[in-house]
Structure 1
Amino acid sequence: MILAGVDIGNSTTEVCIGECVGREPVRFLSSASVMTTGTKGTPANIHGIKAALTRAMAALGRDISEISLIRLNEAAPVIGDTAMETLTETIITDSSMIGHNPSTPAGAGQAAGTLLSYEHLDRAAESVPYIVFASGVFGYEEIAARLNSLPDRIQVVGMILQADEAVLVENRIHRKIPIVDEVARIDKVPEGRQAAIEVALPGQSVRMLSNPYGIATLLHLDPQETRAVTPIARSLIGSRSAVVIKTPNGDIRENVLPAGEIYLDAEHPATISLDEGAENIMAAVEGAGEIRDITGQPGTNVGNMFSRIKKGMADVSREDSPAVRITDVLAVDTLAPVLISGALAGETCLEKAVGIAAMVRTQQLPMREIAAKLEEELHTKVTVAGVEAVMASLGALTTPGTQLPLAILDMGGGSTDAAVIHKDGHVVITHQAGAGELVSMLIQTELGLPERGMAEQIKRYPLARVESLFHMRLEDGEMHFVEESIDPRFYGRVVLLTPDGLVRVEKDIPLEKIRQVRRDAKKKVFLTNAERALRKVAPEHNLKNISNVVLVGGSALDFEIPEMLTEDFINWRIVCGRGNIRGTEGPRNAVATGLVLSYAGERK
């Protein structure tokens, strides 16, 4: 008979086709994978299941009608969701700053002086240093000619331009000064106030204005004023240019937003405020014991997030919201670029934020409905078989070089599952919130990307910078030469090395920063989750009692996560590596393969 194991995941639906003849061992014939259609565990999954089955049978030159039995995984009631909440906010009033980072500043160095409108240059006093600001109605040639014609006793030490013309002005003036351009709301710059301006050399970032004491030096601030400008200095870290304006009535403050409290209905009930940060939240979760449900303070950011997750799952499972329970969360500290309240040129500041992944369970088993509908449409017997983590363990055992006892880490899109299968066949399992989707959200948030798709690609592929039409520098520093010329559109840009060719990162972000954010996001999610998941299933909850770990699931295909985990597990002398299911599939198809194997075992 021909049978199929079907694993419905958050991101992909995988199929394994096997053949059972009499008492002979099961013979694996083919496999296939497609994107999951709809939310995991809902009838919308049927379209993806049929597509995967059709593809797997087509590889054999056979029709889907020849399948005698389809076995589905029992994982539908568990689903992951993610959210990001900003915890701090920088507010600046009365035109206190232009913490700006345009792509084309000009000149270099820093200076301090009195702000003076270009239109009022004729009012300039002798021997007073001025920072002149000009609106976009004045052209670069006119501005340069006017500056060159000024007598020596008029000191212009810096310029602020509305137009994107800093380099054009700087190339035409006799005395080189720092120039910042692309300041959209230049009409809000207060004339007559003291200001400091700085432009760093190419490849460097501002030093004086990203240091509160540097600002104090240039603007002659007292200790109280120096403390007040700390949020400004922090927001300018990494910028190539900046202007800070001293205003007597300016208000610069960092607010802590009321993100709300998390309530743990558990063996040891607990309440924890979201603004205490991820470390304290996770300590409360770990100390709570078995968690029955997690809710949030009504009317707050986190309360609304949990309510939204529960309502969404209630809608797809057609249950009342009280029947939907959140049984696990993973909280991760991060920094999110947020538009500064009161800024003049669209400046952002890295604000403290917490990313959260939640694990949701329902009372009903939607898989029964999926099985019934699939059976009706295909006229083939469909059953719901074992628990996902158990099936993954059976599939992982087909990896060459493995033996019992064995631990597995199934790293998917929404959750990280762990299991230990002992020599007597006893299996201990756990489901943890947080996996690939949370990593993508952290990358998108920290880099300020407009869409999740680019964050997904940054997560999956290594980086390079195109330095000429025939070579690029890889993220590890290696120089890579090509035989055919690179598309000129990629010249000087950061690109992703995908199997389909180069993909340009449209936002102008240094390669080093993208790489650091990507690696940090993976470590925060996967290293944290791997350790807490394995600790829950390990004998006596001690990682030293685990000797072998096989990594399976989509995230095990990542080009750096397995290496990160291997290095981390050295501390406990754990042998860790990617699974190679059936010696041919790599880390994918473990659950689908386990579903086929488990049928063969039941038959015996």
Structure 2
Amino acid sequence: MAIVAGVDIGNSTTEVCIARVSDSGEMQFLSSGIIKTTGIKGTTANIPGIRMALADALKSAGVDMHDLKQIRFNEATPVIGDLAMETITETIITESTMIGHNPGTPGGLGLGVGKTVAFGELDQVLSGEKVIVVIPAGIDFADAAQSLNWAFDRGVLIEGAIACQDDAVLIANRLEKTIPIVDEVTLIDKVPLGMLAAVEVTEPGNTIQTLSNPYGIATVFHLTPEETKMVVPIARALIGNRSAVVVRTPQGDVKARTIPAGAITIFGQRHREEIDVDAGSTKIMQAVERVQPVVDVKGEPGTNAGGMLERVRQVMSDLTGQPLNQMNIQDLLSVDTFIPQEVRGGLAGEFALENAVALAAMVKTSRLPMQQIADQLTAQLGIPVVIAGVEANMAVLGALTTPGTDKPLAILDMGGGSTDAAIATRDGKTHSIHLAGAGDMVTMLINSELGLNDIDLAEDIKKHSLAKVESLYHVRLEDGTVRFYEEHLPPQVFARVVILKESGMVPIPTTHSLEKIRHVRREAKKKVFVTNALRALARVAPTGNVRHIEFVVMVGGSALDFEVADMVADALAEYGIVCGRGNIRGTEGPRNAVATGLVLTYTGDGR
């Protein structure tokens, strides 16, 4: 009689399966455990998490640590994802300054064009002169409105106003004429004076039409065709805003700086491909497929792509203790995305979405780091620790404990950092593949495209559905249905898009609509999970054709996602494949497949 533990070290979680094996080979599963992985997968930093997961599972089984006869590990392959910009690192604006930050309550209405003038010099402006008044901090809204009305009476043509404080509506309500007013401009002292400017404010619920259109800006400022090309970034940055200001400044006020995206070289066993990141993810992935199997990937020095790939190598070299020149990238997933970039020339924290290419790289490390973990854990616990098998092969064995399954069977193990696939034939042979990119990359895309700068919030958006709080007693769910509440909701969630977590509603601190956030979330999952599912299955299929696979079982943490499994199943349905979530041992759902497979191999007869 022996008590054995299977330990699956994943990018996100470390899972444990405890079983009692009789002398005749009969197996009784006792318990399972799961803990968030400590450190990067496949490094000695994993040991604290392994010990916690073991302790948790052993406690549930009512077994002491010293009763364990053996601990069995999977071969862990670390994956790191990063972003490489395509084309530019910041929006370039030449001969212009802009303010398009969309304050919550701009004042007035319409489009005004005139020269900027300081509020304190308004009494010096001549009758008939068209001006945009710049109101600094410290000016009371009543005093500001009174001074503007006096100027109106003198015949000054005040076309609009730019204010530092959040009192645009209070000023507009006290004016004799309706003019557009943009407020909350924090860097008001940097607004150039004596320059031609345009201010546009539209009604609530609408978006500006003139300053978000390059030809509209060209009309306002009488630009030449060459100058119109230069203001395209301004127009793009202002799309969707309710208010905006554009000021034309002397040539040379705003300097441009670019860092090229660069090229990457993909080395295969027989030949290599070089491709510019500017070409986009589709071309990059076509190059990856042409050189299969990938031996290494390198980026052009001095570029975004080169810096990103070398950073991945350096991190893995530092963590594993292996020489930098031995850090080879064995797979690459490329996805088109967007990154909010700060606008040069902006005066209120303006950002514009710029094209980017997200790259997830799988670094090939030696068996040495995993052996270091095993040796250290053996020394600490006094229990033999062995590296028992390839992760995807173990997942197949675990998946076969799902009721209603049999060989031949393919599995998709979608975790945090990698998408693994394996197929078991009727004669017991298995073939597996590890591909870069999974849940962590989806989180990264959501965080980037929504400009959250908060990985934890992006992770919550990925995992949970959304709603819009329309009153203190009801919300509209993302599928359009309405849910009512007997008790009033917290005031801080009113009129906000919220994440529906088990612990309650979490407001999302952005101005993005529910539809935009949902679209970004679903597209990120399709770009990563669906793309990698088809890629992985094509690699393990006997003929390289996905259509020759009949049954697919999805396992891993990402299979628990409330929409990923359906997305993958829909994509595979057109190939006539039966696909669904696994239920490991009939009790664990899609979790614990690898850990269960590791325990099953202890008997030596697979199943």
1:539-574 alpha-carbon deviations (Å, 9 max, x no partner): 221111112211111111111111111222222122
- Contact 2:96/2:254 (8 A) holds in 1: no
Distance 1:229 1:558 in 2: 42
Deviates more, 1:185-194 or 1:532-541: 185-194
Match of 1:119 in 2: 120
Match of 1:327 in 2: 330
Within a 5 Å distance, the mapping from 1:92-171 to structure 2 comes to: 92-149=93-150, 150-151=152-153, 153-171=155-173
Match of 2:494 in 1: 491
- Contact 2:266/2:272 (8 A) holds in 1: yes
Distance 1:563 1:213 in 2: 44
TM-fit CA distance, 1:248:
5.9
Distance 1:253 1:45 in 2: 47
Match of 2:192 in 1: 190
Distance 1:107 1:401 in 2: 67
Distance 1:364 1:551 in 2: 27
Amino acid at match of 2:115: T
1:535 aligns with 2:538: yes
Match of 2:574 in 1: 571
Match of 2:232 in 1: 230
Return closer, same or farther for 1:162/1:598 CA change in 2, 3 Å cut-off.
Answer: same
Distance 1:506 1:520 in 2: 21
Secondary structure at the residue paired with 1:394? helix
Match of 2:417 in 1: 414
Match of 1:80 in 2: 79
Within a 5 Å distance, the mapping from 1:439-518 to structure 2 comes to: 439-518=442-521
Amino acid at match of 1:141: A
Distance 1:506 1:180 in 2: 22
Return closer, same or farther for 1:60/1:298 CA change in 2, 3 Å cut-off.
Answer: same
TM-fit CA distance, 1:101:
1.9
Secondary structure at the residue paired with 2:543? helix
Distance 1:119 1:277 in 2: 51
Pick from 365, 382, 397 the counterpart of residue 379 of structure 1.
382
1:219-271 alpha-carbon deviations (Å, 9 max, x no partner): 33343333222111111112221112234636889876322221222122122
Return closer, same or farther for 1:56/1:205 CA change in 2, 3 Å cut-off.
Answer: same
- Contact 2:559/2:581 (8 A) holds in 1: yes
1:300 aligns with 2:303: yes
TM-fit CA distance, 1:110:
2.5
Distance 2:522 2:256 in 1: 28
Amino acid at match of 1:46: I
- Contact 1:117/1:191 (8 A) holds in 2: yes
- Contact 1:95/1:344 (8 A) holds in 2: no
Match of 1:205 in 2: 207
Match of 1:286 in 2: 289
Distance 1:511 1:148 in 2: 41
Distance 2:515 2:39 in 1: 36
Amino acid at match of 2:81: T
Count of residues in Structure 1 that have an aligned counterpart in Structure 2: 602
Secondary structure at the residue paired with 1:338? strand
Match of 1:544 in 2: 547
TM-score by length of 1: 0.95
TM-fit CA distance, 1:68:
2.0
Deviates more, 1:42-51 or 1:89-98: 89-98
- Contact 1:411/1:553 (8 A) holds in 2: yes
- Contact 2:165/2:184 (8 A) holds in 1: yes
Return closer, same or farther for 1:233/1:332 CA change in 2, 3 Å cut-off.
Answer: same
TM-score by length of 2: 0.94
CA RMSD of aligned residues (A): 2.1
Match of 1:401 in 2: 404
1:171-190 alpha-carbon deviations (Å, 9 max, x no partner): 32232222111222223333
Secondary structure at the residue paired with 1:289? coil
Secondary structure at the residue paired with 1:541? coil
Secondary structure at the residue paired with 1:141? helix
- Contact 1:98/1:344 (8 A) holds in 2: yes
1:189-244 alpha-carbon deviations (Å, 9 max, x no partner): 33333322222322332222211122233333343333222111111112221112
In structure 1, list runs of 5 or more residues that go unmatched: none
Secondary structure at the residue paired with 2:521? helix
Match of 1:49 in 2: 50
TM-fit CA distance, 1:286:
1.1
TM-fit CA distance, 1:336:
0.8
The alignment-based identity, stated in percent, is: 51
- Contact 2:469/2:495 (8 A) holds in 1: yes
Match of 1:239 in 2: 241
Distance 1:578 1:108 in 2: 54
Secondary structure at the residue paired with 2:75? coil
Deviates more, 1:290-299 or 1:249-258: 249-258
TM-fit CA distance, 1:433:
0.7
TM-fit CA distance, 1:98:
2.2
Return closer, same or farther for 1:83/1:603 CA change in 2, 3 Å cut-off.
Answer: closer
TM-fit CA distance, 1:394:
1.0
